[in-house]
Structure 1
Amino acid sequence: MGSALTTIGLPVALGIIMFGLGLSLTPGDFGRVARHPKAVIIALLCQLLVLPAICFALVVLFDLPPVLAVGMLLLAASPGGTTANLYSHLFRGDVALNISLTALNSVLAVFTLPLITNLAIAYFLPGDDELGLQLAKTVEVFAIVLLPVALGMLVRWWKPGFADRMDRPVRIASIVILVVVIAGAIVSNLDLLIENFGRLALITIVFCLISLTIGYLAPRALRVDRRQSIASSFEIGIHNATLAIVIAQTVIGSVEMSLPAAVYGVLMFFVALGFGFLIRGRRTDDAEPATSAAAAAPR
């Protein structure tokens, strides 16, 4: 990718996205975790332990080249993005829980993302020390992930009215900038992307479907209510592909390693939309008891 596009455009786009996330967060969003510990613990266990293990099994099964395999694990280690909140809203999930999970996952990712990525590099690319996320690069991850979020939260605390007014413009700006930057990045690397798209399309679709399914069924099996299970599903199933791309290209310095996230970042929208309609079709079965209870409640 063009150096200016990679080193400036992508981090700026991600910074605006994370700043926008911070504008929507308050300390109460972290406190909410204590009020819904069961849903949060299940979602985090799926996100931090189950998905990397499944992703590792998939890259071995699909026999991906080592750099692409590491790219898939980097994607699996990335937290949910703000897009998960949108899908949760569209399909009647607990958006407040999504916001809390995104906040908590973004903090934890500062530690878990370098750990999982380094383990993947050690396994698939042994001896290639230049690609690892050592302390200096981990500090870069911290700066990329948390500083814009902290700044957004600080603005919201200092000027809540301004934060509310800026929420929509920042979201729109982040989407526009992200689309322009990614479109330019795709054009500048079109040959490399086309060469690997066929190899990566199926595994990214399968990974996204498995992530969404586990995120929904695991909480339901453990008696978490439906709205929280939907929130968990999209939080776990929709990874922050932009973060994975930025880490791969600007921190690790490997365009090829970013390809799984780039392909996933395009296909996940369609997979998540289809999955949302699928679980929405089950709403009438799950909602009957609640409907009856509501009808019987005194007015």
Structure 2
Amino acid sequence: MTHSSAPAKPALTSEDRSARIAVTVFPALILLAAAFGFFVPDVGQMLAPHTSLYLGVIMFAMGLTLTLPDFGLVARRPLPVLIGVVAQYVIMPLVGLGVSLLLQLPPELAVGVILVGCAPGGTSSNVITYLAKADTALSVTMTSISTLLAPLLTPLLTLWLAGSYLPVDAGSMAMSIVKMVLIPVIGGLVVRLVLGKLVDTVLPALPWVSVAGISLVVIAVVSGSTEAIVSAGAIVLLAVVLHNALGYLIGYWAARLLRQGERAARTTSIEVGMQNSGLAATLAASAFSPAAALPAAIFSIWHNLSGAMLAMYYRRSADLHPAAHPQKGRPQVDAA
């Protein structure tokens, strides 16, 4: 008599383990950073003048993870990439404005929420996509393209949507993004091309470099926003949760309505809902005020937590229908 048993689950690969550590540990570290900034604001204010440097380190680390094939997907599958990038710069900015109007946020907080929506995709969206068994290669390409477009689109969209709340110097913002984002990302990509073998040896450490950078940004922002947190923390959290959730939902259905497959739609959902909150926080603090950076700081914590929960939901659904959700691509475990 023979006994049948369910096949054993395959052992986790090192990439799976790194990705899961990223999703579980990063939000906790960022939450600790926020608490540190709130309870030890004097130290946080010492860090505040250097937030652009921290962001530059994060974006350089992102550039080191990129390869030329990541951009080749634009030529091979232009439509899903185009849908994702356009959705990124249409859905989240408009949702940010809508949430600000709905909750009647004061000008500084409204500008902060809108600026989060106008930021490019967050690099942590790539690891969430990987864990969700969606299309990791597509996510990496969407993030990369939206990041490269940020110097043009983020200032213009912020000026258009937030200019009625506070004055927006779009030219200065564009130059800041070029210095903090575009140059470091391209620099990292060039270093990867020239010193590929050396970079491969340090790739496992890059997630921790990135989370250290975003943690420093959060400490600096929160330390300058303690009064705003006490007076408006609950309403900002509500705004962030609504903004993020609507991004996931509308991003998914936008892709489905445009006849994209399930994996591409899930990838678009994650990519649209998760923003480069480190960039938004740094821009808000430098162009407006620490209070304007508060939504981005809270978004840094929340979108990693919500993304992990969404990945669990998508992954469970994919496990029920594995043939329809083949896992491809490599995980990217930068945090932003």
Flag the 1:290–1:279 CA change in 2: closer, same or farther, 3 A: closer
Give the letter for the 2:315 counterpart. R
SS of residue paired to 1:124: coil
Give the letter for the 1:242 counterpart. G
Query: Does residue 116 of structure 1 match 2:151?
Result: no
Q: What's the Cα RMSD here? A: 2.2
Give the letter for the 1:261 counterpart. A
Per-residue displacement from partner, 1:193-217 (whole Å, max 9, x unpaired)?
A: 2322111111210111111112223
Q: Is the 8 A contact 2:55 2:213 kept in 1?
A: no
What residue in structure 1 maps to residue 30 of structure 2? none
What residue in structure 2 maps to residue 295 of structure 1? none
Cα deviation for residue 180 of structure 1 reads 4.4
Query: Does residue 48 of structure 1 match 2:84?
Result: no
SS of residue paired to 1:282: helix
Query: Does residue 183 of structure 1 match 2:225?
Result: no
What residue in structure 1 maps to residue 15 of structure 2? none
Flag the 1:90–1:210 CA change in 2: closer, same or farther, 3 A: same
Query: Does residue 255 of structure 1 match 2:290?
Result: yes
Gaps of 5+ in 1: 292-299
Query: Does residue 235 of structure 1 match 2:276?
Result: no
Instruction: Quote the sequence identity (%).
Output: 28
Per-residue displacement from partner, 1:22-46 (whole Å, max 9, x unpaired)?
A: 1111233222112112211221221
Flag the 1:14–1:40 CA change in 2: closer, same or farther, 3 A: same
Cα deviation for residue 181 of structure 1 reads 4.6
SS of residue paired to 1:42: helix
Superposition map of 1:70-85 within 5 A: 70-85=111-126
Which stretch shifts more, 215-224 or 106-115? 215-224
Q: Is the 8 A contact 2:47 2:216 kept in 1?
A: no
Superposition map of 1:58-77 within 5 A: 58-77=99-118
Residue from 163, 173, 192 that aligns with 1:156: 192
Q: Is the 8 A contact 2:91 2:247 kept in 1?
A: no
Distance 1:255 1:120 in 2: 20
Give the letter for the 2:90 counterpart. L
Flag the 1:184–1:261 CA change in 2: closer, same or farther, 3 A: closer
Gaps of 5+ in 2: 1-40, 327-336
Give the alignment's TM-score, normalised by structure 1.
0.87
Residue-pair matches, total: 284
SS of residue paired to 2:61: helix
Which stretch shifts more, 146-155 or 50-59? 50-59
Q: Is the 8 A contact 1:244 1:261 kept in 2?
A: yes
Give the letter for the 1:96 counterpart. A
What residue in structure 1 maps to residue 232 of structure 2? 196
Give the letter for the 1:138 counterpart. A
Per-residue displacement from partner, 1:103-137 (whole Å, max 9, x unpaired)?
A: 10011111110011112332223xx4xxx224244
Cα deviation for residue 179 of structure 1 reads 2.2
Distance 2:198 2:207 in 1: 14
Flag the 1:137–1:57 CA change in 2: closer, same or farther, 3 A: closer
Q: Is the 8 A contact 2:120 2:150 kept in 1?
A: yes
Per-residue displacement from partner, 1:10-60 (whole Å, max 9, x unpaired)?
A: 222211211111111123322211211221122122111222222212211
Relative to its length, the structure with more helix (as a share) is 1
What residue in structure 2 maps to residue 15 of structure 1? 56
Query: Does residue 5 of structure 1 match 2:41?
Result: no
Distance 1:181 1:50 in 2: 26
Give the letter for the 2:64 counterpart. L
SS of residue paired to 1:213: helix
What residue in structure 2 maps to residue 268 of structure 1? 303
Give the letter for the 1:218 counterpart. A
Cα deviation for residue 163 of structure 1 reads 1.6
Q: Is the 8 A contact 1:117 1:133 kept in 2?
A: no
Query: Does residue 105 of structure 1 match 2:146?
Result: yes
Cα deviation for residue 276 of structure 1 reads 2.4
Distance 2:311 2:156 in 1: 31
